[in-house]
Structure formats: C-alpha cells, structure tokens
C-alpha cells in the first residue's frame, strides 16, 4: 500500500516503511538519514515536547495523530529528561515557525541537533488507522543518503530492500531497555522548603520522567533517585519510608533482576508505589503474567475507572504491555502460593478493559498503569501521590 504525500516545497523525499510492506511518502523533517523502531501512535493534542523526551518512548517511532505539530516550539522548562528519546517522529503538518512566549527554539531545530530522523507531510490519520487495524509493528524512516537509488519511483525492488532492513531489526517483545535509559548515578530531589519532617522515598529509575520526583517533593518527600541496577542493600542503606518504581521502556518479562529487587522491597514491608513499567513489574512480582497489547495506549485522554469509588478519571498513558490479572474480586497473589497475600485490580480502562491498577490488601503496596504525574495531560490521578505519602507516614 502506498499513500499520497502532502507536498511541502523545498524538502527532499522521505519514506515511512512498515514491516508488512506498507509505505507512506512524505518529506524529510528533522535530521536526514535512517531510523528504525516500533511504530506507535499518540493521541495527545498537546505536549509533544514531553512525548519526545519521555524515556518510555525509547526505540519507538511516534506518529502524532494531532495534525499540527510544533506551533509552540520548544522551551527549557518542559522536557521530561535531558534528551529526545523517540527513534523517529511522524507528523502531518509541522508549524512553519513557533509562536509562543515560552518558546526558545523551533522544534525541528531540536530534532536536527539531536539527530532524530523525522518525516512530515504524511497522512497520519491513514497511518494510525493502519496501526489500529494491523497492530504496532517494526518500521523505519528513510531520507537523504539513506534512500536507495530510484526511491522516488518506489519500485518493487526499492520496496523490498527497505522492508528487509525494517524486518531485520529486533521487535519490542523480549526487549530489555530500562538499563539503557536509567540514570548513571544517584541524585536527590529535595522536598518543598516548608516541610519540617519529610518522608524519604527511594525512586528506582527505569526511565523516570522529571515531573515524578517533583510531584513527590511537592508533597514533602525527599526523593533519592537511584539507577535501575541498584541493589536492595543500597536502597535499605538510604533508610526509605517508601520505594517507588518508575515508568520505562521494554518488555516487563525480561526484567528479572528488577522483579527480584521489587520482591525484596515487598518482603521488607517497605511501602511500595509503581507506575507504568513499575506497575507491570509489580504484577509480575505478585505472580501475574504480562502480555503485549495489539497497538497499546498512548496519549492524554484515556478514561479509567477506579473500581472502589466508581470515579472515572481521564488519564495519560504510554504503554504497550499490560498485566494479566482477574477483575472483579480480590484473589490470592499467585507467587509462591500467596506469599504476598490478597490483591485486587483497582482500576480498568473503559475503552478496552485493560487492567490499569493493582492494590495489595495485606501489604502496603499499590500501582497504576497510567501516568498520574502527566505534565501536558490531565491531572486527575495526582491524588495517588498523596495516597503514597499517607501510606508511608502510616507505616513509619
């Protein structure tokens, strides 16, 4: 299948190639060259800067469903990390120039400076519908010198050559990526200045977003962020009132060392809170399985129901895997015949019924699949940080 391009004068040809042989024409945008990754779509109408700098998007080519991207430029306050993590960026109609009082640079300048290959002028609605129908898959963006001779004619030989390059890359299932995005050294985020008796949180960085420790610090926590390979002895030495596992990329089934670390935390009785990848690891630590979603949840408009209160929250998501746990009643956690007692599914996605939260009933631990710290997205879930702080104080 080949989609017509949306012309942009003065730009060279770029091709978005999917492993199933689909090719979408567009124009070179950002850096020229070749990039490979799993292609996914994000439904957020705002917050592209946060999306680009979210480590959870490592090794993914992101398609923005909102048609107009780049109109607010980029600034130095909103990034979620120190660099852009997406493998590639696909947009329909990039802004010709930024128009916002907070903008410091044009979006394309950041993409080019950091070597992020992008493509514009693509019918992103068609790409999104294709992913919705056929699932997330391996893909590549090719422009400039990365295009083979005769690419403008898109012959069968050109198509076969590019599809072979795309299909040769590893898939996301089985990928262990947290160590690639984690911090190299521990650091501390101080609590709000007016706090006299802060709780101490050790946050394990599996791809943490900057806003997460900021949310905890604003509620009176002294946050010690540690690398993904931190040991339990190192964590215990910090004297935590609670341990937090962050979001991050990759397949939770590969994270055996991180799961062993989490079990040591649960065995110690230290309160635990996990989000996104941390939620998936919590599920596996309890003995549940995880599985890959067909096309995942990514965006800032996902409705989630709290099964205890009945409240529906609009939430931000970025995940391609989910926990396989029974909904509707508490069950004994399967690991080692109930070593961690009873657990219940606390939240579900109203679009497809995916498990969005777990609550342990016999130990101080809970998790959610979504992002309560979302900067560009809704803030409905921020109360979960209050809940974690209260849990730590109660278990001191």
Which residues make up each annotated binding site? 56, 248, 250, 277, 280, 318, 320-321
The answer to whether 142 touches 122, Cβ cutoff 8 Å, is no
Phi-psi region of 150 (alpha: psi -120 to 50; beta: other; left: phi over 0): left
Helix (H) or strand (E) holding 245: strand 242-245
Beta strands in 55-112 (DSSP E): 60-64, 68-69, 88-90, 93-94
Count of CB atoms situated within 10 Å of the CB of 82: 10
DSSP letter at 344 equals: E
Q: What is the dihedral of CA 346, 348, 354, 355, to 10 degrees?
A: -10
Question: In angstroms, rounded to a whole number, what is the distance separating the alpha carbons of residues 373 and 382?
Answer: 6
Structure tokens given for 182 = 């984690």
Q: Is 373 a catalytic residue?
A: yes
Active site residue 371: yes
| Token digits of residue 258 | 């991180």
> Which one is catalytic: 19, 276, 317, 347?
276
The two beta strands, 137-143 and 13-18, are antiparallel
Residues 6+ apart with CB under 8 A from 91: 29, 64, 67, 69, 70, 118, 119, 120, 122, 124
In the three-class reduction of DSSP (H, G, I as helix; E, B as strand; rest coil), residue 153 is classed as helix
β-bridge partners, 358: 345, 367
Residues at the annotated binding site for L-glutamine?
A: 56, 248, 250, 277, 280, 318, 320-321
- Reduced to 3 states (helix: H, G, I; strand: E, B; else coil), residue 8 is coil
Give the separation between CA 49 and CA 251, rounded to whole angstroms.
24
Report, in angstroms and rounded to the nearest whole number, the Rg of the chain calculated over CA atoms.
Answer: 21
Q: Chain-centre distance of CA 95, in angstroms?
A: 25
Closest CA to 91 of 202, 205, 198, 8: 8
Token pair 């004068």 is found at: 9
Q: Is residue 320 a contact partner of residue 136, using CB atoms and an 8 Å limit?
A: yes
Catalytic residue status for 390: no
* Residue 83 and residue 114 in contact, taking contact as beta carbons nearer than 8 Å: yes
- The catalytic residue positions are 276, 371, 373
């Amino acid at each position: 299948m080949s989609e017509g391009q949306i012309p942009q004068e003065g730009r060279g040809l770029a091709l978005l190639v999917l492993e199933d042989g689909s090719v979408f024409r567009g124009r070179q945008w950002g850096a020229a060259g070749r990039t490979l990754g799993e292609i996914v779509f994000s439904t957020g109408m705002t917050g592209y800067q946060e999306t680009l700098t979210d480590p959870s998007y490592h090794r993914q080519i992101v398609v923005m469903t909102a048609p107009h991207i780049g109109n607010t430029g980029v600034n130095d306050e909103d990034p979620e990390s120190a660099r852009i993590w997406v493998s590639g960026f696909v947009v329909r109609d990039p802004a010709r120039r930024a128009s916002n009082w907070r903008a410091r640079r044009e979006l394309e300048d950041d993409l080019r400076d950091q070597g992020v290959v992008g493509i514009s002028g693509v019918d992103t609605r068609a790409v999104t519908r294709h992913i919705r129908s056929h699932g997330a898959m391996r893909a590549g963006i090719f422009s400039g010198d990365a295009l083979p001779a005769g690419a403008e004619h898109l012959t069968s030989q050109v198509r076969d050559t590019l599809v072979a390059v795309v299909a040769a890359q590893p898939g996301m299932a089985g990928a262990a990526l947290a160590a690639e995005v984690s911090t190299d050294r521990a650091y501390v985020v101080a609590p709000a200045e007016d706090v006299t008796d802060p709780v101490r949180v050790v946050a394990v960085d599996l791809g943490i977003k900057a806003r997460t420790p900021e949310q905890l610090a604003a509620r009176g926590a002294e946050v010690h962020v540690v690398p993904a390979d931190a040991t339990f002895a190192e964590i215990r030495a910090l004297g935590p009132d609670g341990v937090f596992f962050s979001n991050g990329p990759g397949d939770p089934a590969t994270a055996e060392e991180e799961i062993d670390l989490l079990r040591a935390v649960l065995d110690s009785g230290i309160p635990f809170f996990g989000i996104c990848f941390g939620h998936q690891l919590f599920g596996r630590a309890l003995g549940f399985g995880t599985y890959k979603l067909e096309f995942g949840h990514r965006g800032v408009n996902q409705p989630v129901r709290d099964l205890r209160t009945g409240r529906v929250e609009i939430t931000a998501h970025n995940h391609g895997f989910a926990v396989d746990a029974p909904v509707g009643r508490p069950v004994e956690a399967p690991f080692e015949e109930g070593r961690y007692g009873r657990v219940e599914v606390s939240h579900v996605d109203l679009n497809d019924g995916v498990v969005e939260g777990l609550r342990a009933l016999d130990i101080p631990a809970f998790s959610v699949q979504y992002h309560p710290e979302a900067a560009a997205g809704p803030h409905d879930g921020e109360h979960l940080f209050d809940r974690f702080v209260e849990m730590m104080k109660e278990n001191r």
